[in-house]
Structure 1
C-alpha cells in the first residue's frame, strides 16, 4: 500500500525517496548507511536548492523500533514546507507519539481477495465451476492477507481438484490461524534439493545478485537455474537482478532451521552471532552444520580452537564479515585453514 501511495503522490513533490527494508539495512549496515542512501536519493536534483526549501516525500518502509527513528531524526536536516514522511511498521508502538495519524492496514475485501487469488491460481479473473467451493475454503483460510493469498494461489496453480482438496484439508486439519502455516505448506511442496536452496537463500544470500547466488549454488553442486524456479511459487522474488524474499517468508525459513535441533550446534545453518560464538568457542559443532555466516561488527576478538572445524565435517560455507568495514574484530585461527573440511 505504501508503494501505491508513493507512486500516486511522488509527482506532487520536488524530491522523493522510498527507503525499503529500513530495519534490515539499519541492522546490517548502520545508521550512516541508511542516512546516506536517504539523502543521496533526495539530493539527486541539485538545481532545486537545499532540502529545507524543497517539498519532500519520504517513505521509511518496515521500521521496527523507536531508536532507529530517533537516531535518523537527529541526523536529518529540516525539510521544506508541506513535506510528508510515511512510515510502515508492524509495531504500533513505533508510531505512537511520533506521527500525525496512524492508518491500520486492513485485510482485503472478499472480492479483492478473490481477484488476487484467481490471478495467482488461474492467471485470469474467472474459474471453472468445479473449483468454486475450494476457492471459498482457500479464501476463508487466507483471511484477506495478500501474502497468504499470493503464496496459496501460486501453490495451487495448475493443479487438479483432488490436489486442491488435499492441500486445503491439510491446512484445515492443522487448525492454526496465521500465515506461517500457509507459507510452510508451500515449502513442504518443494523437492529436497530446492528446499536446501531455499534455506541457503534465506539464511545467507537474501539481497545478493542473481549471478552471485547462482554461482554459489553451482559451487555447492545444486542445480541453480532449477532451484531459482521457486520464484514461481512466490517464496522468493527477483528485483532488478537481486534475489529477495518477504521477511515473513524468511522468518518461516529461520524457524525451520531452528526446529532441526534444540542445540544450535546440531542445526544445518547458523547466522546468529551469539549462537555461532557459543558453538565455536565451546567446540559444540557437529556434522550437521553446512553453513555459517558470522557478522563481526558486534563482537570482540576471539580465538578459535585448532580442532573446532574438524567436528564440522560437512561445512561448505563460512562467511566472516563486517558491514561497511565497521568493527575491528580479529578472528585468530591457530591452525590456519588446515582443519577445514575440503568442501
Structure 2
C-alpha cells in the first residue's frame, strides 16, 4: 500500500514553504497559525492596495532592483522619503504585498506619525511581534522590555518590517533599533517626510528612495480615472483637464481629490471650480500638506513663509544673503526645509517649492492678516 500520507505530512510541507518549523507543535495550533496568516495577508491585500495605481510599476521595479536586491544576506534599513501626498504609503503597500511571502515573518505598521511614549509604542511593539510570530498573547511591560523581547525573538528570523509615516527618531529605536536585532536577509522599510530622521538611524543615502511626482501622462491618466472613470478625458474636457494637471504639479493626492470632486460635473462647473482653486485650494489637500508645516519650529515656519511669498525659484545664495539680515545663520533652517521635502534645490542652485506648498504658505499668510494680506 505504501506509506500513509498524514495531516502531519501535509502541514509540514505547507509550513516549510512559509518558513515555519513544526517540531513539537500540535497540528491544531499550526492550522490556526496558518489560517490566521492567510486571512491576515488576504485582508491586507484587498483592503489596503488601491486599484488606481498609475505609475506604480516603474517605481516598484526601481525599488526592487536598486534597493531591495542589494546584499541579499545582509540586513538593510531602506527609506522612502518625500513630501506629503506623494504616494509613499501606496508604494510601501504594493512592495509589502509583492514580497512579504519571501520572509519568515512580516509586519506593516501604518500611521505612526505623532505616536510616542509607552502608551503608544508598547502597543506597536506588541503588534510587531504578534504579526511576525503569529502570537496573540505577548506580554510587554514597558518599552525597554519590548526592545529586549524583539531582539531575542527576531534575531534569527528573516523578516520584512514596514514602518509607515514615521515623524520622530524616537519611534525607530523601540521598534527597529539596530540591524543585529533581525536575521540575515531582513528588510526594514521606513516611509517618512523627514530625510534627516533616516540619516540619524544610519540609513545610507544610497538606500533612501525619494518619492517622485507623476509625469504629465501619468498625472492625466490618474486624474481621468477619478474624474471620468476612464484613462483619458472626455471630449470637451481636455484643456480644462490640462489646467488641473498643471495646477497639481504631479502630486497624486491633489489629482485624486480634484478628480473625485469634479466627477460628473458640467463644463461650466469645472470652469468655476478652477477659478475657485486659484483663490482657495481644496481643504483636504492643504490639510495633508500642512502637517509638515505644523511640525516645524517657529523660525523654520517664518523662513518657509518667506520663501513661499518672495523667494520661490530664486538663487539660493541670494536668498541666504537676504535672510541673514533677518535671522542668524538661516542656512540650517533651509537645510531642515529641504530634509522635510518642503523645498528643493535645482541644478542651477535655485530654491524650488512645489506650487501647492507655495499656495499653502500664501494661505497661511492670508489667515494671519485677512484684512491686509500685504502684511
TM-score of the superposed pair, with normalisation by structure 1 = 0.48
When Rg is computed on C-alpha atoms for both structures, the one with the higher figure is 2
Structure (1/2) with the larger helix percentage = 2
